Each structure stands twice: as structure tokens, then as C-alpha cells.
Structure 1
Amino acid sequence: MQFLHKDLGYLSSGEVVEVDLDTVANVKLMDSIDFGNYRNSRGHTYYGGYVTRSPFRVAVPGSGHWHVTIDLAGRGGSIRSSVRVIE
């Protein structure tokens, strides 16, 4: 599976992650354990989902180490994106 990945490092609960996309895509905010499961095609929990409008914003649910992944849900093509944290 191909995906874009951004390691956000340690974030505090309530910080907001903003993702800009140039096309529809799956956007997933995950902790380190769930990111490892995602990367290895195992069951995982995430915040986000299939995003059709940009920018997409999601609040960090708890303090810890966080990751964002972006994929095209099995569709071919390419994607341009940017990820930033809004404090």
C-alpha cells in the first residue's frame, strides 16, 4: 500500500492538525501503535477518514506521539498535500 506519512511528534490534547489536499483522499490521524498496525496492514484505530473538502482539520484527542497518513483509497494517481499543527 502506498501512502504519504507525516510524523507529528509529541502533540498535546486539543491541538489541531490541518491537512490541505488537492484531491479527495483518506486522511488518518493515529498514535504510534496504530500507525505501526496500519503500516503492517493490521487493524488500527484512527481519527479522520475519507476527506472530500480541504482544508481538513482534526483535534488531537490526547497528548502523545502522533502520525498522519494520506492515501488515495486504492485509486491510482498522485496527490499534493501539506500538514501543519495549529496550536
Structure 2
Amino acid sequence: MTGNERRVSLYAANQLYVDARIGASGNLVFEGQDLSRGEYEYFVSVRPEEIPLVVAALGGTPEDDVLDLLARHGEEIVRFGEMRWLKAQGIDPGFSSFV
């Protein structure tokens, strides 16, 4: 993350922490850290051209900020599962993880 990237918290409970940000390449990135059994980190990414699908799924308009919308709906998305929620919107997200 560079110093000028904005990040919003989507979920922080039960040793699970999930944030969202717009990366340098314009991708929307969900970053998760699960500390419940050791440490597991994961990253789910959405290509810039698919971000309007996320905005629309959250009831937003093209003028709305995707991070603001995600912050308002973060808990429900995380509880549903970020990958599963994105796929339900017709988005094929990228995924990477490490322990």
C-alpha cells in the first residue's frame, strides 16, 4: 500500500479483520487477516472495469464511492463471504493467500 491509498474497515471481530482499498492498478482489493488458528491472510481483487458492478449491487449510483458503500455493507458481505458475494454479482475475482 502506498501512503495515499485510502482503506476502509469492513469487519473487525472474532479475530477476523477485513479491509478494502483501491490498489495502485485501480483494482478493488479486499484484504483479510484471520488470527483464530494461527495467522492466515488473503486478498480478493476485482478488476477496475468490474467495480461498477459492485457499486450497483450495493444500491449505489456511478457517482457513489465504492469504498463508502462497502464500509456501509461490510459486515453482511464478510458474513456471506467476499468471494461468494462477488461471484453472486457476476464477478470473477482474483484470489491469493498465505499462512
Q: Considering the TM-score relative to the shorter chain, is it more than 0.5?
A: no
What is the TM-score when the length of structure 1 is the normalising length?
0.33
Which structure's relative contact order is higher, taking Cα pairs within 8 Å and 6+ residues apart?
A: 1
Q: Which has the larger radius of gyration?
A: 2
**Structure with the larger strand share:** 1
What is the TM-score when the length of structure 2 is the normalising length?
0.30
